[in-house]
Amino acid sequence: MQRARLRLVQFLLRHGLRSPQGVRNGSVKHREWLNSLHFEKSSLRIVFQEYLHAIDEVTERMKHIEAEIHEQALRSVHAPVIQALQTMRGVAEVTATTLVAEIGQFSRFSSPRQLMSYAGLVPKEYSSGATWWQGSITKVGNAHIRHVVVESAWAYRYSPSLKGQLLARQKGQDPEARRIAWKAQHRLHKKYNQITSRGNAGKKAAVAVARELMGFIWAMGCEIEKKQTEANSAA
């Protein structure tokens, strides 16, 4: 979708066309503006319509995929973990499903640091004799997990709260999952502020928060898996 929109925007810029002030790319108003455009040359009209068609085609594909994701999030064998993860701030249905699809069984990692390493979120380490130094994250690991968790981490720059969609996602969920999610809000918000207050960029803070967020995700995943196992044994 990003690539399709970028191609269209670049095409329009080459012909001196910019969206109206305050109109966000991809919004309903933006599409109305696009529909109002007219090109004299037939070749330009064809290219323009093809770019619009590409966006519409991707939009439909996304709707079908998201509908299937929603079905799996509610009815698959992994549904309890997917639903529990959504009690966390910044982790909605697509992110939670991505995490479960990529990680599989959370308890296969004996510690949260193993999961952090699997996602490539641990810092590089250099040592020589008595000298020891840590660098940037390794980025050696599952890029899908790393991407969604870093995106989720930005949500923790805001003060802890329970409202709106997050509150709706928490209704009826496991009490222990809600407790972990609330603890994560306080701890990760504090961590973000501590890092940015030292003059570090927000991106560095988001990566550091993402690494610690993986620890809370691991704890929650293992907790729900344990309860599933106990429920199956009792049955």
98 and 119 part of one domain: yes
pLDDT tens-digit map of 141-181: 899 999 999 999 999 999 999 999 999 999 999 999 999 99
188 and 222 part of one domain: yes
- Domain boundary among the residues 23, 41, 71 is at 71
Q: How far apart are the first and last CA of the chain?
A: 45
Q: Give the separation between CA 85 and CA 100, rounded to whole angstroms.
A: 9
Q: Which domain holds residue 120?
A: 78-234
42 and 90 part of one domain: no
> How many independent structural domains does the chain possess?
2
Judged by average pLDDT, the poorest of 35-39, 120-124, 133-137 is 133-137
61 and 84 part of one domain: no
Average pLDDT over residues 11-21: 95
What value does the mean pLDDT of the chain take? 92
Q: Give the separation between CA 206 and CA 97, rounded to whole angstroms.
A: 21
Q: Give the chain's length.
A: 235
189 and 213 part of one domain: yes
206 and 120 part of one domain: yes
Q: Give the separation between CA 90 and CA 67, rounded to whole angstroms.
A: 20
55 and 26 part of one domain: yes
Give the per-residue pLDDT at 123: 74
